[in-house]
Structure 1
Amino acid sequence: MHLDVRSEWLSHVDEVPRALVAANAVANLEALEQSPRHHHQKAQLLFTVRGVINCEVEDAVWIVPPQCAVWIPGGLPHTVFGSGEVECISLFIEPPEALDLPKECCTITVSSFLRHLLMRTNALPELYDIDGPDGRIVSVIFDELAAAPVEDLRLPIPSDPRLKKLTDLLIAAPADHATVAEWASRIALSERSLSRLLAEEVGMSFGRWRRQLHVILALRCLSAGQTVQAVAMDLGYESASSFVTMFRKMVGKPPSRYLLERLRPASHHHGDL
């Protein structure tokens, strides 16, 4: 089973006269197949219940670990694929203009309260009563989305063919900790030219870009059940502690805590927030 992105279905989603459309909201996907690149007029919110979803747009790949969501603005061409067994919620949204929702693709932290609201959308009729209880639930969802923190779980993808080759090399051998000069020579660039191109195309230094890649690869593996020690070794770190230090600097908390908060979301109610 994979997310249905056939053009006739997407056309139907855009024609439904409601601000929120739940498209088979909860889906169990043994392997989320890569969808063809597509777009729709409504924005899309993909919430990962378990597993990891990847959303690729023209200039970046967004990683969506458990209990996190990716926001895809309306009209933005994208493709979606999963890592391992995935369970997700897919919503198509045309929010009120007054609501301050992201204008660009981003990952969103989902609170326990918002998670329960998103799960509730599976029971929404397609043409729910806008002025009834269902309509009020949709309004609260929009308010919670507007207030949700944004996380930068993104790997910028450069357009320069030499940098694209470098991206492929880094993904194929993440444990290779060659120097910047050595990586530059492998794609026929000087170290200075590589640094300049990366700054121009992705706005990051080589070191930060590679660490961002390591965070994304680590989240995929950790969410699939691999240990911190195993992931650290696979990524070429001398020890688990050095990997944890890198992860904390990039994400703001160690990987075990980061995933624990997502795999075991807090059970408190909205009134306790």
Structure 2
Amino acid sequence: MGFQLRYPWPDLDPDDVAAPAIAVRLDITENRAEAAEHAHRKGQLVFALGGGVMCRVPDGLWMVPPHCGVWLPGGTRHTNIATANARILFVFVEPGAAELPDRCCTLSISPLLRELIIALSDHMLPDHGNAPLVAQLLLSELPRMPIQRLHLPISTEPRVQRIAAALADDPSDRSTMAEWADRMALSESSLARLILRETGLTFGRWRQQLHLIVALRELSAGASVQQVSTELGYESVTAFITMFKKALGKPPAKYLSDIVQGGSPAFAA
């Protein structure tokens, strides 16, 4: 299922636009949409005005939380996954136009930068009106944004990718480590070492990180705590809230409220 895109001008290829930065606003009208894997010559910032969005890259999943964006350096193969009625802004940055990270990362988005992104997306052409000045201000603000940590490391190891794909498709799957090991034709200890070596996390912590990503995506899209708790297979809402608070420092409602109000969330390590 692909995005139904509404570009501000037809036949857009951002790599062909001769501007240091351009911004494109997209409205998702499918129930759930995922673009085909692709890459751009330019770097890309994925920023959500509403709804939930994830970026999938070869070695991980990156959540786009409210008031944050995911930075993808030029040449990074990726696909963007959006929930229903998501409103997304893509900012394409010419290589060398600003000192930005050379790896995928989650960046905080200040209120000023948010308004600059929206303003740049409102221009029909990158050289129209105040667009060059807005782009210049945007590129001076973007490198100042703090890097946050909220992603699921996957690695290129086929068995790790298979488990990650299965859990992403059915996050409520509560199979034990022994059950997963049996499916992968490994001993339990071998699977534990494999997950730790490839992701830097224990199996339990790795699966919890996936749950946090899914939870934030769904909560950002308007799902209730009860709905998310059920989707993730928790026995009770209380158990889900306890996990969330232990990992991110705040219960779900408080966490999202603080982000919307411009607070400084405690992101998962």
Q: Secondary structure of the residue that 1:195 maps to in structure 2?
A: helix
Of the structure 1 ranges 138-147 and 172-181, higher mean CA displacement relative to structure 2 is found in 172-181
Letter of the structure 2 residue corresponding to residue 170 of structure 1: L
Structure 2 residue 1 is the aligned partner of structure 1 residue 2: no
Over 3 Å counting, the alpha-carbon distance change for 1:100 and 1:67 in structure 2 is same
Structure 2 residue 87 is the aligned partner of structure 1 residue 90: no
**Where do residues 1-273 of structure 1 align in structure 2 (5 Å cutoff)?**
2-3=4-5, 12-22=13-23, 25-31=24-30, 33-94=33-94, 96=96, 99-124=98-123, 126-128=125-127, 134-262=131-259, 264-266=260-262
Of the structure 1 ranges 156-165 and 40-49, higher mean CA displacement relative to structure 2 is found in 156-165
RMSD: 2.8
Distance 1:172 1:92 in 2: 30
Deviations 1:28-87 (A, max 9, x none): 221264222221211111210111122111111222133321211111111223121111
Kindly tell me the number of residue pairs found equivalent between the two proteins: 258
Alignment identity in percent? 40
Of the structure 1 ranges 252-261 and 111-120, higher mean CA displacement relative to structure 2 is found in 252-261
Given that 1:63 and 1:153 are in contact with CA atoms closer than 8 Å, whether structure 2 keeps it comes out as: yes
Report the alpha carbon displacement of residue 160 of structure 1 after superposing the two structures with TM.
Answer: 2.9
**Please, which runs of 5 or more residues in structure 2 have no aligned partner?**
263-269
Deviations 1:184-208 (A, max 9, x none): 2232211211111112222221011
Distance 1:27 1:171 in 2: 24
Distance 2:158 2:180 in 1: 15
Residue 267 of structure 2 corresponds to which residue in structure 1? none
Over 3 Å counting, the alpha-carbon distance change for 1:170 and 1:95 in structure 2 is closer
Over 3 Å counting, the alpha-carbon distance change for 1:72 and 1:166 in structure 2 is same
Report the alpha carbon displacement of residue 213 of structure 1 after superposing the two structures with TM.
Answer: 0.7
Letter of the structure 1 residue corresponding to residue 216 of structure 2: L
TM-score (ref. length: structure 2): 0.83
Of the structure 1 ranges 108-117 and 137-146, higher mean CA displacement relative to structure 2 is found in 137-146
Given that 1:29 and 1:87 are in contact with CA atoms closer than 8 Å, whether structure 2 keeps it comes out as: yes
Given that 1:248 and 1:255 are in contact with CA atoms closer than 8 Å, whether structure 2 keeps it comes out as: yes
TM-score (ref. length: structure 1): 0.81
Over 3 Å counting, the alpha-carbon distance change for 1:168 and 1:16 in structure 2 is closer
